[in-house]
């Protein structure tokens, strides 16, 4: 039976209408989560102050030792961080100059901080300065269950050639840590953050599928589900633990639950790990606006803390400015998430503060520090030259 021309016109109009509706929904959602056209006023930041201005630069991630209350910070020179984010690496070892080198700091509750020396063993077994490239992104710590003073640091290392995970041993109170191994895998093509599960095993988020270039730009623009989570077991074998994520970022753990922040469909996923390391998604919470970055769990309450970029394009401008400068309109919201009794229903979300961009622009991590009866929240920023301590927010 012949199909009339009017039928095809109606069909094409229906397809065009559906495509137009989908495009409208996509663009509306994109505008909402990137903050286009919005301005934000600071809320509940009066108890916050900057620490280490000019020294604690680019402290993208912070982990607090639950046993001592000391905070460990992974920090980096802003100009170098720009080059790393843009996929431009130094071609030789000149990046290791003191002015450019990334640092790990330890900080107490009184804002006193110290640089932890990074060492390695030479061929004769002597400890010497660490000589390999080290470009710090996210990191995590594993504490020896028999002796929690013995710690294993796992750093996402965006080094030239191929990103890796660099693992160091540290004893609480020492002024140095010693390199144990640097591991690479074809499955670790774009690692962003890491969750240490033993002194050798970990989960790492891969935020992208493609190397910097056109394909990555298209994937990012369309928010395609090209990210996944990689698992390394105790014998050193790698596998894909979960896939189909849209730019997975921060990762954290409490009890049997593993939490992963997703930027492309902003929110937090809840997983449980199987015996083989595979992650089964149990629940999810979606953010109404903004994009989450790193995650931190308060070990006392089990609550999750998440920084959220409210003006995403202003954050991106921070990676492009010459000389490096933070956009003072790169607004941030910090939220606290409490998991519901039924994990399938996600979290209850509480907004703790909003910063217009003047105090903590490009904030990437918020972590609770408890030490000597002091409780406060520490905030690190990927592209600013100080960390922030908030005394009456946590």
The tens digit of pLDDT for each residue in 256-290 reads 999 999 988 889 999 999 999 999 999 999 888 88
Position 265 scores a pLDDT of 84
Q: Rg (Cα) of the chain, in Å, rounded?
A: 22
CA dist., res. 235 & res. 240, Å (int):
15
Torsion of CA 17, 35, 56, 107, to 10 degrees: -90
Q: How confident is the model at residue 212 (pLDDT cuts 50, 70, 90)?
A: low
Query: What is the tens place of the pLDDT at every residue in 191-203?
Result: 999 999 999 999 9
Residue ranges per structural domain of the chain: 8-37, 38-390
Lowest pLDDT segment from 170-184, 248-262, 304-318: 304-318
In sequence order, the 6+-apart residues with CB closer than 8 A to the CB of 339 are: 254, 257, 270, 302, 304, 346, 347
The CATH code for residues 38-390 is 2.120.10.30
CA dist., res. 325 & res. 362, Å (int):
11
DSSP state of 43: B
Q: Does 220 or 199 have the greater pLDDT score?
A: 199
CA dist., res. 118 & res. 102, Å (int):
10
Q: Which helix (H) or strand (E) holds 51?
A: strand 48-51
Structure tokens, 127: 């400890």
- Model pTM? 0.90
Among 113, 152, 156, 119, which residue's Cα sits nearest to residue 134? Answer: 156
């Amino acid at each position: 039976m012949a199909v009339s021309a009017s039928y095809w016109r109606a069909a094409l109009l229906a397809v065009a209408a559906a495509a137009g509706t989908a495009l409208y929904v996509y663009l509306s959602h994109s505008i909402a989560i990137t903050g286009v056209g919005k301005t934000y006023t600071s809320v509940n930041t009066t108890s916050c102050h900057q620490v280490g201005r000019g020294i604690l630069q680019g402290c993208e991630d912070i982990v607090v030792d639950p046993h001592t209350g000391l905070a460990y910070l992974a920090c980096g020179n802003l100009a170098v961080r720009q080059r790393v984010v843009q996929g431009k690496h130094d071609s030789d070892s000149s990046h290791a100059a003191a002015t450019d080198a990334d640092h790990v700091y330890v900080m107490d509750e009184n804002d006193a901080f110290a640089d932890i020396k990074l060492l390695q063993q030479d061929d004769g077994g002597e400890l010497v300065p660490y000589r390999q490239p080290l470009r710090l992104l996210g990191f995590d710590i594993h504490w020896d269950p028999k002796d929690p003073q013995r710690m294993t640091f796992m750093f996402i290392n965006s080094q030239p050639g191929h990103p890796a995970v660099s693992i160091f041993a540290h004893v609480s109170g020492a002024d140095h840590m010693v390199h144990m191994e640097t591991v690479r895998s074809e499955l670790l093509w774009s690692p962003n953050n890491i969750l240490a599960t033993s002194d050798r095993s970990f989960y790492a988020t891969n935020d992208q599928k493609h190397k910097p270039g056109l394909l990555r730009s298209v994937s990012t623009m369309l928010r395609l589900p090209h990210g996944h989570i990689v698992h390394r077991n105790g014998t050193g074998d790698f596998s894909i633990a979960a896939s189909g994520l849209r730019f997975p970022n921060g990762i954290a753990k409490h009890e049997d639950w593993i939490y992963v922040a997703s930027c492309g469909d902003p929110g937090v996923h809840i997983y449980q790990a199987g015996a083989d390391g595979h992650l089964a998604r149990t629940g999810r919470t979606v953010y109404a606006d903004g994009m989450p970055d790193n995650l931190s769990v308060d070990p006392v309450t089990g609550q999750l803390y998440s920084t959220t970029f409210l003006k995403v394009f202003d954050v991106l401008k921070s990676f492009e400015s010459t000389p490096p400068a933070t956009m003072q309109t790169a607004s941030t919201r910090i939220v606290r998430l409490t998991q519901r009794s039924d994990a399938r229903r996600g979290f209850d979300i509480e907004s703790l503060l909003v910063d217009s961009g003047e105090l903590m622009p490009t904030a990437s991590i918020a972590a609770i520090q408890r030490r000597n009866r002091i409780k406060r929240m520490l905030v690190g920023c990927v592209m600013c030259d100080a960390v922030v301590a908030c005394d009456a927010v946590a």
